[in-house]
Structure 1
């Protein structure tokens, strides 16, 4: 596992460039934590009774990218990818036939769409077109900050899972 190809934002970058840079850094970190593992390893859970796996983390973050950028920021009416009424935590519960290739492609697709939507948003102060399911409104600055927090927290989980799988550890 190599994480040294990630780019940190310039320490003197402007606010938007800094937020975008740290989000990209954390996206790349999760990809690096998953690199080089096979499908079985990517499904390994952390510790019982947890359902937390690297595959589940990628699926979860695809849902999170979709929720904040497509639903909240852009107001798109898009369904959940993995979560259903029957299994609201379906992102954490891949079925036997769910593959890494599909999850990774879906995650990357959601990231690409998030980048497009954010780039089309003229200001960090721009408020999302829809309110979050909690009823609160959020501007792009808040969304970026939350996404960085979301990835950072889950990258800590990914680091522990990866270390348990094959001993690889890193920032």
Structure 2
């Protein structure tokens, strides 16, 4: 699977800009995973950490599901990879876990996220509420948070990828 990253528009309206940056960071994570074997994608960064590229992709599928389904629309299909018994399950990989499954699940959640967000205005408030303040979130806040979440994890992905095969990049 080859992913091309598209630079976000430099003079677009706010929504197009936010969606462009979110897609750019989604594409960046996919690029960091390109041309690696399942074994390499399951390789943990540095013991005792279990952080791996495949784990990051599975984590981001959970994050997409949480923010664009549970929080934004109130739909709660449950977790994909974690449970109460294993709250970090997305990072607990076995040899049975494949890139194809991780990638397909992630892309499914991205597709649902796009469809759900398309039905909301930037200032429209979510069905779900903050567990801290009790307040709902605007779609603008969710987009901004998701850009931050991907950007942070893409930094992790840079370091993991460099450790695996020396590949670096932006």
Shorter-chain TM range is over 0.9
CA RMSD between the two structures: 1.3
Work out the CA distance in 2 between the residues paired with 1:29 and 1:130: 28
- 5 Å matches for 1:8-157? 8-121=7-120, 123-134=121-132, 135-157=134-156
Work out the CA distance in 1 between the residues paired with 2:131 and 2:81: 17
Work out the CA distance in 1 between the residues paired with 2:135 and 2:165: 42
Work out the CA distance in 2 between the residues paired with 1:10 and 1:43: 34
SS at match of 2:54: helix
Sort the Cα spacing of 1:132 and 1:101 in 2 relative to 1 into closer, same or farther, 3 A: farther
Is 2:14 aligned against 1:7? Answer: no
Work out the CA distance in 2 between the residues paired with 1:133 and 1:91: 22
Deviations 1:88-140 (A, max 9, x none): 1111112331211111100000000000001111x100111112444442110
Work out the CA distance in 1 between the residues paired with 2:156 and 2:123: 31
Gap regions ≥5 residues in structure 2? none
Number of matched pairs:
168
TM, length-normalised to structure 1 = 0.94
Deviations 1:132-152 (A, max 9, x none): 444442110000000000000
User: Which structure is higher in strand share?
Assistant: 2
Work out the CA distance in 2 between the residues paired with 1:108 and 1:133: 27
Gap regions ≥5 residues in structure 1? none
Moved over 3 A (4+): 132-136
Work out the CA distance in 1 between the residues paired with 2:8 and 2:50: 33
